[in-house]
Amino acid sequence: MQTVALVLTASPEAPALEAGLISALRPQLHAAELIEERWLAPEIAWEGLVQIPAGLAPRDLSRSLAAAVAGRPVDINCVPADPLQRRKKLLVADMESTIIEQECLDELAAYAGLRDRISQITARAMRGELAFEAALSERVALLKGLDAHILEEIYASRVSLMPGAATLVDTMRRNGAHCALVSGGFSFFTERIAARLNFDSEQANVLEIAAGQLTGRVRQPILGREAKLAALQQLTLKLQLNAEDTLAVGDGANDLAMLRAAGFGVAFRAKPIVAEAAALRIEHGDLTALLYLQGYARRDFVGEKVT
């Protein structure tokens, strides 16, 4: 037998957890035994310590329970019960559609009148249908000649933080974790978002600019799927951590390698190929769900919401 933490989370904007739902899940545990439970946040997050037989994988348990509550806006995940294994010391986060709500390249495309054309390429790349590096180069080439001042306009007027982003970073940093922003997007935006949220480090691709205009090129080498994995591994080594000490979160196909390598790899409101492959996934909750997965209760959260 092994003991795992069964974690149920809902969106703070639409609390959907209730005692009746928890009771309805108990018969679905079958060979697993619920030995302890607590509310991490009323109506938003609940966890139960569950003993499961050796032949039952935690992921299989969480997905069978998720099927039992199909149609309810509730996420169900299983993680190690040991607090030392749950509290992570390194967060590596994707930026676009994860820490922020937008895809910045798509917003640039809108200014150029190319949103539909470029967003279609973005969607295919995030689903894993196109090689990320080639897709990025193709999209950026279409923006050649765009005034560089548009970057500041987009950041100021169109970029918004994903709910829970500030609380996630503040709480993990207060508890000793290193927080890194690693994006296949552009350094113009990661530098500003990292400073705004107090990330410890950031890295991204660099848009080439000459004479105040985009050249249509990205400086080499392009940071893509393997570079994100390398960033996770290099930070783990630099901080003298083990893979089990790390948490990675993202939504696109270029995040898959780092999600698979992290102690907790969380697919956040992700494309189907990513959600299916990741061990942990959040579809309904905001980014504070990543704190509940680590065993933090709402009373442990640090910082005010940043808008």
Model confidence over 195-254: pLDDT tens digits?
999 999 999 999 999 999 999 999 999 888 889 999 999 999 999 999 999 999 999 989
Half-sphere exposure of 87 (CA within 13 A, CB side): 13
Name the residue among 276, 248, 275 with its Cα closest to residue 263. 248
Residue 187 to residue 63: CA distance in whole angstroms: 37
Please tell me which residue, 55 or 189, carries the higher pLDDT value. Answer: 189
State what percent of residues in the chain have pLDDT above 90.
69
Lowest-pLDDT range of 19-33, 91-105, 274-288: 19-33
Residues in the chain: 307
Q: Which domains does the chain have, with CATH numbers?
A: 1-81 (3.30.70.260)
pTM above 0.85, yes or no: yes
Name the residue among 128, 291, 104, 88 with its Cα closest to residue 184. 104
> Quick one: pLDDT band at residue 152, thresholds 50, 70, 90?
very high
